[in-house]
Amino acid sequence: MRNRKRSGFTLIELLVVIAIIAMLAAILVPAVNSALDSAAMVQTVSNGSNIYKSAFAGQMEDVVFGGSASWPAKDGDFKFSTSTDYFKYLVTNEVMSVSFDFFSAKGLNSYKTTDESKFKADGNAWKLVLGLDECAEGFPFLFTRNADISASTLNSDTDGNIELSGNQAPFQKKGMVAVLKGGAAFSLKGAKQLKYNNLNPAGKQDDAEIDIAEP
């Protein structure tokens, strides 16, 4: 009488397969998450650059044809209490033809609407620097909200480290995105890059009085 061939896995074999899968997951998941974070930063860099270009184009149009300025001021009629209010202005005045999810980023709410009453700060990835009229190109215009930066520190001679919030989207402590006056946009990641002289290549602006509008 022929012996039946054994089919299937033994418990030991099954446990070995599960252990191998777990090891592969432990190796691959961080790499995948890192790639996703990098892709999200690239998208945020692109969006930030387009925000600046649209605001600049709107400012030039206002200078030529008259009307309300598109450049955020520190004082006066065109001062915004939050960057969310500024982005509402850009959309409702057709400086930008986008829905409000354009101003979001990874980990934040996404408001796919052009109704300003529905756009909230929890869907806004940016802090806005006010009062750039007297600042040279290369001074920050926007930076992501996970960066803990004050106006006085930004406009100083400090070359210290930029502190990022570990519980603040987008990107937590993984990095930040900045947009400069002039349109340059980039991400900063890691201790070597997260320095104030990398964020602010224009350096201290002696005649400028800036402020920072929170989201």
173 and 166 Cβ atoms separated by less than 8 Å: yes
Mean pLDDT of 124-153: 94
Give me the DSSP letters along 157-188: S---BPPB-TTSTTTGGG-EEEEETTS-EEEE
Choose among 44, 141, 124: nearest CA to 88: 124
Identify the DSSP state of 212: E
Identify the DSSP state of 147: B
Q: pLDDT, tens digit, for every residue of 183-215?
A: 999 999 999 999 999 999 999 999 889 999 999
146 and 164 Cβ atoms separated by less than 8 Å: yes
In the sheet with 211-213, reading across from the earlier edge strand, the strands are 185-188, 176-180, 140-144, 126-130, 211-213
Distance spanning both ends of the chain, measured CA to CA: 80
Checking if the pLDDT of 173 tops 80, the result is yes
78 and 69 Cβ atoms separated by less than 8 Å: yes
Query: Residue 180 — pLDDT band, cuts 50, 70, 90?
Result: very high
Mean pLDDT of 45-59: 91
Return the half-sphere exposure (C-beta side, CA atoms, 13 A cut-off) of residue 47: 23
Choose among 131, 173, 124: nearest CA to 148: 173
Query: Residue 5 — pLDDT band, cuts 50, 70, 90?
Result: low
The pTM of this model reads: 0.83
Q: Report how far residue 44's alpha carbon sits from residue 170's, in angstroms, rounded to the nearest whole number.
A: 10
Checking if the pLDDT of 130 tops 80, the result is yes
Identify the weakest region by mean pLDDT among 23-37, 109-123, 164-178.
Answer: 23-37
Query: Percent of the chain beyond pLDDT 90?
Result: 63
Mean pLDDT of the chain: 88
Checking if the pLDDT of 70 tops 70, the result is no
SS3 for 193?
Answer: helix
